[in-house]
A = this chain, B = another copy of it.
Amino acid sequence: MSSVAAFQDLTDNLPDWVEAYRAYAAEGRVATYIPELAHAPQQALGITLHHKSGAVISAGDAGMPFTLQSISKVFTLLLALMDRGEKAVFEKVGMEPTGDVFNSMLKLELVQPGKPFNPLINAGAIVISSLIRGDSPEHKAERIVRFIRELAGDEGPSINEHVYRSEAETANRNRSLAYFLKDNKVLDEEVEPTLDVYFRQCAIEVTCAQVARMGLVLANDGADPFTGRELIPKRYVRIAKSFMVTCGMYNASGEFAIQVGIPAKSGVAGGILALVPGELGIGIIGPALNDKGNSTAGVHLLRLLSERYDWSMF
């Protein structure tokens, strides 16, 4: 199906699909570990697709703001690569997927010398946050926000202060991971300032349209899709896309590769960033999560779209 026909088909059908797929939310549960997430509407489902031609299609609750949470890990990885280079980054984190749950310490303890498996698990992302350049946590977080805004082509993304403060108050597991990394000398920076950056990046609030536009930049190998200007070196985008395929959807990444087959990254607020290389970026919000921590309706919707438009890379 050509892109034009596909976009017409999408225009005709997406609203109905979104309404129908809200039903999947009943299978999942909204994250409750911080109050701000617990208040998200269980039934919400929204999506924006941003094609390289400039065409944008949204449906459902696409306008509902949500926080990036783990989706931010893709962008701090990119920024750390741009700040420090590939060698410095991969001295601190590995490149391998792991079947463990996202916040497990098991692998950290078993695999010497405590180097996180990859930058998309919490331990790896915390190390990555420590590599972002800046004079203070505020400065580092500001640089991350600016980078997100640049990719989103929108000044909208900002830190949700309520969410940030809630994250900081309830993050004992992440503190435990960070002190473990510190003890293993994988984390060079101080724990609390590093976590402060991490909590802020997780609390950046976006909409589906902004996430879709960020995905489009990745689909376009790091170049601004309209000006052609390089926003991210292509090599780093390749690295990010590889990780999104092998580890982007927690310990359901392998199944997602088979069933959907495109680079994607989910967050615990119910957001998903996805992209069809060379074609389009996708932003999804659906707060009800399945047992692997991914938006249940969002994953079902992506599978439908991937099958209908033959998006799989495999």
Report the bound CA distance from A245 to B243 in whole Å.
11
Q: How many residues of A contact B (CB 8 A)?
A: 48
Contact residues of A with B, CB < 8 Å?
94-100, 104-107, 109-111, 117-118, 172-173, 175-180, 182-183, 191, 238-239, 241-243, 245-247, 251-255, 257-258, 261, 263, 277, 312-314
Question: Residue of B at shortest CB range from A103?
Answer: B183
Number of copies of this chain that the complex holds: 4
A2 to chain B, nearest CB (A): 18
Question: Residue of B at shortest CB range from A252?
Answer: B96
Going nearest first, the 9 A-B pairs with the smallest beta carbon separation are A176-B179, A172-B183, A97-B97, A98-B99, A96-B254, A176-B180, A175-B179, A95-B254, A95-B255
Assuming A97-B98, A97-B253, A176-B178, what are 10 further A-B pairs, CB within 8 angstroms?
A: A94-B254, A95-B258, A97-B97, A175-B175, A176-B182, A239-B314, A242-B258, A245-B257, A246-B246, A263-B314
When the two chains form their complex, are residues A258 and B245 in contact, meaning their CB atoms are under 8 A apart?
Answer: no
A58 to chain B, nearest CB (A): 27
When the two chains form their complex, are residues A105 and B96 in contact, meaning their CB atoms are under 8 A apart?
Answer: no
Question: Residue of B at shortest CB range from A244?
Answer: B314
Contacts of A254 in B (CB 8 A): 94-97, 118, 242-243, 246-247
